[in-house]
Structure 1
Amino acid sequence: MLPALLAAARLGPFCALDDEPGPGWVDLADGDRLLGERAAAVRAVLGPAAAPRVVHSLVHLGVVARVLSPAVGAALAAGVLPVPTSVHLQPVGSNPVPMAWAGVRGVDVAGPEAIAAALAEHWLGPLVQPWTDTVAGTGLSGQVLTGNVVSAVHGTCVVVAAARPDLAPSARALVDALVATGPLRGRGARRPDGSFVRRSCCLIQLLPGAGTCGDCVLVDPVPA
């Protein structure tokens, strides 16, 4: 396994990978199957009161967070962005669902801005966007889905900063760089207190008894 991925695994279970896929695992590229099986598993947990669009948004956010976490963790911890040719996930089970990558190569990245640019080039376009397009086919807005991608990266950066406080400044700067340019430009901002807010809601507050996330646009007005 790429040494950078071993460094990422030490940051927490969301940043860890299995060595190879198991029976019944689904390729991220098979978006329709992954969405169907993962949505059924999530709906079984949330119950029949969960609206389909809420389920689909949460499935999208959960998958994006899972697939990006090892990449973001490795880039921040080791200065190498791992890029696989394929991503396989177990579609059922609680988070973090087991995941394995194949054909992994490393791209050297020096600093948060370089990581942001490399993520956009090697991950957000070729790997995350097709999955997002699949979920968009259910009727979810692009605003919700791009917000989910921003939220997924921000959540990973929070985990990285908690596990390695020395990486906190770089993790924060990475999030800021992602929303300053590229495909996620303008999809998030900093509140006056320095906390991060996405520009859209993941819809979880529509579940009975649910609250809002820490980066939710509904908590405070969006900064200008």
Structure 2
Amino acid sequence: MHPPPATPPSAGPGSPGAPPPPDVPSGTSLPAPPGAPRPPRPGPDGPGAHGVTARTLARVTAVGPYFAVTGGPRPDARDFRPFTALLHDPPALAAYVAETGRRLGTDGPPDTDRRRVAASTFHLGTAARLWSVALATATLTGRAADLAPERVWWRTPRSGPVELWLPRPAATTAGDLPGALYETVVARLLLPLGAALRRDFGLSPRVLHGNTASALVGAVRVLLARIPDAPRSPLPVAAALLAREPLASAGALTTDPLAYHRDNCCLYYRIPGNGYCGDCVLRRPGPRPDGRD
């Protein structure tokens, strides 16, 4: 959920050549529609927090713009909406994809190809934001934040990445750490979001799974660079996640040096004046796999 970087991202947030988004002044959010759900009343960190607290999320936020997330009470909750709106409210999803297209310069007369580019960029940005928060929390605490759709609230700024808010931070207790992250990020957020984007914008599952994997590796790269002395390395966790389907079929990870090679394309190259992402299948010689994006 972010506006596109000025240059193609190589593998998600903070990748070489992708500048951070601009700072967003307060009070510049796009308004939520009338009748949108009101945020829950924030509460203190309860027994389910297990180390995932507002203080933890402040440490996550310090990593960089794509990692920014507020936990607990916040003075201005206006226009925040639950993530469920993106999954179950087609007009809300269409509005944000249209806003992404406007920032990309792909808006204008209706065009299926332009809509697909905007939808893929929206999905890649959403994946980058969610993986950044989830993986940084796991790296710092050894716990997976509970990012159930009803717990994650978002607000669209007029520029910069989407704002994220967890009114009641908590940890999930589902299985081992890679399994818990898969459940909370992939199964509960990105797969349902991908299904909605396939339904409304015709995106290929290959593109969506590639976006999810690429964004994960981008978050790993930033964490290794900015908190190299973290209690846990994000790389083994990410490698375990990338060994699971549907991510395992989306590309190949190498660890020395760290690189990811997609078997599909995020469509960013179709934006006039832009090139290929660093992990794009189109950068390698030869025909595209199966002749598809």
What TM-score does the superposition give when structure 2 sets the normalisation length?
0.66
Tell me the distance in 2 between the aligned counterparts of 1:33 and 1:115.
35
Q: Does 1:44 align with 2:102?
A: yes
Q: Is 1:148 the counterpart of 2:211 in the alignment?
A: yes
- 1:136 maps to 2:191: no
Distance 1:109 1:214 in 2: 34
Aligned partner of residue 51 in structure 1, secondary structure: helix
Deviation at 1:177, TM superposition (A): 1.6
Q: Which residue of 1 aligns with 2:244?
A: 181
- Residue pair 1:29, 1:130 contacting (<8 A) in 2 also: no
CA deviations 1:147-176 (Å, max 9, x no partner) are: 111111111111111211235992333332
Aligned with 1:122: secondary structure? helix
Greater mean alpha carbon deviation, residues 163-172 or residues 150-159: 163-172
Residues in 2 aligned to 1:122 and 1:217: alpha-carbon distance in whole angstroms:
28
The alpha carbon displacement at 1:34 in A equals 3.8
Native 8 Å contact 1:87 1:101 kept in 2: yes
Aligned-pair CA distance for 1:106:
1.5
Residue matched to 1:96 = 161
* Kept in 1: contact 2:120–2:203 (CA 8 A): yes
- In the TM superposition, residue 204 of structure 1 has moved relative to its aligned partner by 0.2
1:109-153 deviation line (CA, Å, top 9, x unaligned): 99xxx4322111222112222211111111101000011111111
Indicate if the aligned counterparts of 1:120 and 1:182 stay in contact, CA closer than 8 A. no
Q: Determine which of 175, 179, 189 is the counterpart of 1:127.
A: 189
Structure that is richer in helix per residue: 1
SS in 1 for 2:191: helix
Superposed displacement of residue 68, structure 1: 2.6
- CA 1:218 to 1:166, structure 2 compared with 1: closer, same or farther past 3 Å? farther
Unaligned stretches of 5+ in structure 2?
Answer: 1-44, 46-52, 287-293
| Aligned match of 2:81 | 26
Does residue 69 of the first structure (1) align with residue 132 of the second (2)? yes
Q: 1:45 to 1:180 in 2, by over 3 A?
A: same
Deviation at 1:211, TM superposition (A): 0.8
Instruction: Tell me how far 1:202 sits from its aligned partner.
Output: 0.6
* Superposed displacement of residue 87, structure 1: 1.4
Residue 56 (str. 1) matches residue 119 (str. 2): yes
* Structure 1 length-normalised TM: 0.85
1-structure distance, mates of 2:283, 2:230: 27
Structure 1 position 211 matched with structure 2 position 263: no
Give, in angstroms, the shift of residue 221 of structure 1: 5.8
Q: How many residues are treated as equivalent by the alignment?
A: 219
Change beyond 3 A, Cα 1:43–1:87: same
1:12 aligned residue: 64
Q: Name the stretch that deviates more: 122-131 or 99-108.
A: 99-108
Opposite residue 57 of structure 2, the aligned amino acid is L
State the 1:24 CA deviation.
2.3
3-state DSSP of counterpart to 2:221: helix
After TM superposition, give the deviation of residue 102 of structure 1 in Å: 3.5
- Return the alpha-carbon distance in structure 1 between the equivalents of residues 134 and 92 of structure 2: 20
Quote how far apart the aligned CAs of 1:11 are: 1.4
| Cα distance in structure 1, aligned partners of 2:221 and 2:159 | 20
Task: In structure 1, list runs of 5 or more residues that go unmatched.
Answer: none
Range with bigger deviation, 168-177 or 122-131: 168-177
1:116 aligns with 2:178: yes
